Chains A and B, each alone.
Chain A
Amino acid sequence: MSSHPAVSLEVPRDRTHPPHEDVVSTRAAARSGGPASLLPLSRRGFLAGTAALAAAALAACGRTSPVSSSAPSGSTGRLSIGAIPDQDPEVLQRLYGTVADSMSGALDLEVAYQPVTDYAAAVSLFRTGDLDLVWFGGLTGVQARLQTPGAAPIAQRDIDEAFHSIFVVNAGTGLPPSDDLTALAGLRFTYGSETSTSGRLMPAYFLQEQGVDPQGFPGGPGFSGSHDATLGLVASGSYQAGVLNEQVWTTRTAEGSVDPAVVLYARTPAFHDYHWLLGPQAVERLGEDLPGRLTDYFTGLSADDPDDAEVLDLFGAGSFLPTTASNYDQVEEIGRRLGLVS
């Protein structure tokens, strides 16, 4: 292409001039991609590059992607699992091999852990069947179950049977601990993530029970995005009050990493939260007994066994217990009332 007479059309000129010289010496022409630099590539080079691309495309067929090991049509024996824990998600997501290995050893299945951070994405992926078994929160579990007919809860942690949220206030408010939530109504208030059961749904419900409009805080409630962010925002005083998961509160208090400006205000009544949810497609592929085997595996994890203890530790659990869909009826009903489930 570079040998084409296109060059001589760049600037009208008379024949006595050597054509290339005045083109190349015109700075403006050269700057805007003058002839000398146009397509600085030989046909051979271009062909080689294209061939490399084609080779890559072919090679890619036999490779598993680092971002999705989603089961191709051939591998029926694989279980895709995912989890978005509330507390220290980076620890579990970076040590997920531990969980996948433990499960795969106990169940004699190929278990692939899929990294996901976003609840909306996790719910979608569960619906599409990309994720077979997901560690959902109470609300997201209900959302996923309603969108995926045939999905069934498998197991919950010991603490999920009676989970609590903690209302915290900035020390500057001078509010002493109390069970009366109405005092929070006039404060700048932040929830955690929008779809969090313990950071949004249940606290909103308990506020409503006491006659506080859950959306009615001055300037509207904030959504910090995570329990730790709630702690940070209440410590800064930008929000005077907030609510978070009791598990995170207990852990952070034990670590001593909670800013002294954040003080406990109230503890909510108990509710059901996190659980493992199994999709219908996995049961079709791996057999009718899969739900039973999975429940047995989870409930069989013992804190006395060092390998099991490691898995339990990653989930912040003492042990796992069986659970049923009816445990989340309350969450579903409240979700409907607050417009979070449709």
Chain B
Amino acid sequence: MTAVRDAPPATPPRLHRVRARWAWGLGAVAVVVWSLAGAGLFTGDVVNPAGRAQFGRFAGSALSPALDPAFLQVLASSALITVAYAVLGAALAVLLGALGAVLVARTTWGRRRLGWTLARGALAVPRGLHEAVWGLLLVNVLGLDPWVGVLAIGLPYGAVTAKVFADLLDEVPRGSHDALLAAGSGRVAAVLYGLLPPASGGLLSYACYRLECAVRSAVVLGLIGAGGLGYQLSLSFSSLRWEQVWSCVYALAALCALADVGGRAVRRRLAAPRTPGDRLARDRGLTAAVLTTLALVAWSWWYLAISPATLFAERTREQLAYVLGAAWPPDTDGVLLSSIAALAVDTVQMSVIAIAVATVGAVALAGLAAHPAGHAGPGRRLTGTAVRVALLLLRAVPPPVWALVVLFVLLPGVLPGAVALGVYTWGVLGRLAAEATEELDPRPRAALAALGAGPAAGWLYGVLPRATGPVLAFALYRWEVAIRDSVLVGLLGAGGLGALLAAGWARSTGPR
């Protein structure tokens, strides 16, 4: 932004097509078409119109959620458990992320590429396992213990956070860091005082995003029996009590919205501090936010009655040995391997369709979902809120539930799983895309509007070109997540590797 403002390019940029981009674009289209063909879209019927009534029952119940006092009480106490898991899980993730970032940042490794690559590779392992799989593994080691939920969120999230934190630190302008080094300061001090302050905004913003994700993951853990809202949701879901399912979804959406609004307020404060410019005073709002966070962590710790001793208990060691013994050597018989290969193709096709659905949907709604830069009429603000709530609900309904209801109206195969994942990811990506749009320089659009362009043209030529980069980056990141999430849809039997994994769990305790 500042570069554009301060130093206009000396020669006007030539408008020409970048060949590499075309190749990438056409390649992406080809992959999507291949996936759609694999899903049978061009070869036969995929829609099952007769299932509309069943789908309608699900959708119709959205307006009449279960509200009897006994159930609401169950929901309230479950929500507390979910909050506690999410807070502790996110806190652990941020802690691990901060430590891990040091291990994988380029700043640490400098020119030693091999070490850096190895460290990054090591991080990919905890990230590759879905939280639900972590949960099942940890149940085997720790038994019924609140640590299961906290670690199942904290470990994989910690690995993701470490990677993102390291990237954020590496991307900060290095002027002050280098200046400190040149002035003779140590490397640690140079990072603490030269890199950390300018990166802190991004770090905090990402930590808040992780909290919202942690709420949703805590629900997924409930599905495997770790308690909380997800537990209630899966109970009601297994007897298709849609009214109760919707109550759970609304409670979950409310928690996500709280995390989101809180995070947004903190970030806004960071971007535009209210303290007068001529003195360095503490911002009371931010102090309160930090204290609230600490208090929440303390409360969660107390509420879940977490005891660090469990982690080092004799029994934990025994069970860990048992699980490792069962997991090694991995099953390598030929039939299993060939079915894994075939299902891996299904999984990839499923995730490609899912991310295509999500990206198209997210880009279409990003403009509406973003908070308008200047003053906006009540109509525009109402539409914005409605779109944001809709996106929130899309991601508050867990993927397994989407998979079943989509399966009502689509014939079985890769497609229902893909659509279910796609709709869920749409909710997540829509939010990320809206945020990316808000971060853009508003001036090109304003200039177009001043020249008489309509809102659609302003968006197409003033916003879309610049939003493409960040939105594509988010889409690629969510693609990785979607591949992992296919485990969840697979647990329902909608195909892919997840189905095989679920079958493996049922057979014995060893992951295959």
Contact = CB atoms under 8 A, between A and B. Distances in A.
Contacts of B294: 49-50, 52-53
Nearest to A57: B301
A15 interface: no
A168 to B, nearest CB: 14
B225 interface: yes
Interface string B462-504: 0000000000000000000000000000011111000100110
B194 interface: yes
Contact of B302 (A56, A125, A188, A261): A56
Contact of A67 (B140, B228, B286): B228
How large, as a class, is the contact surface on chain B? 35 or more
A125 B305 contact: no
Most buried by B among A38, A125, A259: A38
Contacts of B74: 94
Contacts of A183: none
B231 A115 contact: yes
A252 B317 CA distance: 47
Nearest to A49: B294
Contacts of B202: 32-33
Given A60-B307, A125-B144, A226 B81 contact: no
Interface string B408-429: 1111110010000000000000
B234 A117 contact: yes
B107 interface: no
B507 A340 contact: yes
A250 interface: no
Contact of B224 (A30, A89, A117, A339): A117
Contacts of A94: 70, 74, 235
B304 A115 contact: no
Contacts of A125: 139, 143-144
B15 to A, nearest CB: 29
A223 interface: yes
A272 B277 CA distance: 78
B298 A55 contact: yes
Given A41-B290, A224-B493, A232-B408, A128 B400 contact: no
A229 B508 CA distance: 25
B338 interface: no
Contacts of B197: 6, 10, 33-35, 38
Contact of B283 (A28, A36, A119, A219): A36
Nearest to B272: A30
Contacts, number: 299
A90 B235 contact: yes
Interface string A113-133: 011111111111101111100
A33 B244 contact: no
Contacts of B506: 119-120, 143, 194-195, 340
A90 B244 contact: yes
B19 interface: no
Interface string A61-85: 1011111101000000000000000
B139 A66 contact: no
Nearest to A64: B305
20 contacts: A2-B280, A6-B193, A9-B176, A9-B194, A20-B278, A37-B286, A53-B294, A56-B299, A60-B301, A65-B305, A65-B306, A70-B145, A90-B235, A90-B239, A90-B244, A115-B227, A115-B231, A124-B139, A219-B413, A341-B507
Given A68-B146, A143-B508, A224-B404, 14 more contacts: A7-B280, A30-B270, A32-B202, A37-B286, A49-B294, A66-B304, A90-B236, A117-B225, A118-B223, A118-B224, A124-B509, A188-B412, A220-B495, A236-B409
